[in-house]
Amino acid sequence: MASGTYLADILDAHRRRAEADHRPLAALEAEAVAAPSPRPFADALAAAGGLAVIAEIKRRSPSKGDLDPTLDPAGLAGEYAEAGAACLSVLTDSDFFGGSADDLANARAACDLPVLRKDFTVGEADVYDARIMGADAVLLIVAALAGDELERLHTLAGDLGLAALVEVHDSEELQRALDVGATLVGVNQRDLRTFEVDHDRARELAAVMPPDVVAVAESGVRHGADAARLAEAGYRAVLVGETLLTSNRRAAALGELRGHPVARRGVTSSPPAPSRA
């Protein structure tokens, strides 16, 4: 489980909210099952023809503060779609990122792209809510979930037809993701405990990731050269937020990131043991 300032504070807030949520899970399940069918998230990444871009919509972040608190999610979604994004990621956390379910619904209604609900999933209600608000994929952060929680929520997402992007930060977390059957794995180059970026992390984990896993690199992708290096390491997609949100030439910036040839990964060993240093 997580420890440290940023992630611990965020998770504490989400778990307190979950404890105060007394909605019956059976009612949420019925509403989720009745929601429109999700769009195929992983298929959209595979069909991108080279490195795919998951373009993010968020108003602020704990590390950077306000990015664009007045942004129009629908307008930005249309802009991303026209520029060639394969999928969208929309922050729905309100306390730390300024997002909402409405942001996701408005972005999804403005285009045909599959949408990831980017939030801190801590229980079944979060997964049901993702489907209810119109998400096509849900984020599961390994560092935020105990082993039984990760397996349970990953299974629930699949049962609801949602893709599960399982986020890892090191080899131990990667093994946990693989143990629950994750086929869509995100490697966050930003440590959510400190919010510092480590570019070596993505390359090291790509080298030991099974070739049948769809690998997504998250955070710290600033330029076309960054994207090209990740594609050469075998990443199928990059999830990019601040680089696009703070650019005054978003379409061109997105174009520089997408389409790089993706190398095929080969695995000859299990993920390395975590450092004891």
Tell me if residue 173 is catalytic: no
Would residue 219 show up in a list of annotated catalytic residues for this protein? yes
Of 29, 56, 79, 173, which residue is the catalytic one?
56
The single residue of 29, 58, 89, 106 carrying the catalytic annotation is 58
SS3 137: strand
Q: Which of 89, 106, 171, 188 is catalytic?
A: 188
Q: Say whether 188 is catalytic.
A: yes
Asked if 190 and 220 count as a contact pair (C-beta separation under 8 A), the reply is yes
Whether 19 is catalytic: no
First CA to last CA distance, the chain: 19
Q: Catalytic pick from 29, 79, 218, 256?
A: 218
Extract the tokens encoding 63: 């590390």
Question: Out of 29, 61, 79, 118, which one is annotated catalytic?
Answer: 118
Q: Would residue 218 show up in a list of annotated catalytic residues for this protein?
A: yes
How far is Cα 4 from Cα 10, in angstroms, rounded to an integer? Answer: 10
Catalytic residue (one of 29, 79, 219, 256): 219
Is residue 79 part of the annotated active site? The answer reads no
Active site residue 58: yes
CB neighbourhood size of 212 (10 A):
8
| Selection from 167, 114, 160, 100 nearest residue 139 by Cα | 167
Q: Looking at this protein, which amino acid is placed at residue 169?
A: H
CA distance linking residue 237 with residue 51, whole number of Å? 5
Where are the extended beta strands (E) located within 35-148?
52-57, 60-61, 65-66, 87-91, 115-118, 137-141
Among residues 29, 79, 89, 167, which one is catalytic?
167
User: Which residue, 126, 139, 133, 142, is CA-closest to 108?
Assistant: 133
Using only C-alpha atoms, what is the Rg of the chain? 17
If we measure between CA atoms, which residue out of 230, 232, 227 comes closest to residue 256?
227
Helix, coil or strand: residue 187? strand
**How many angstroms separate the CA atoms of 200 and 233, rounded?**
11
CA distances in angstroms from 45 to 28, 117, 196, 214, 259, listed in the order given: 29, 16, 27, 9, 11
Which amino acids are annotated catalytic? Answer: 56, 58, 118, 167, 188, 218-219
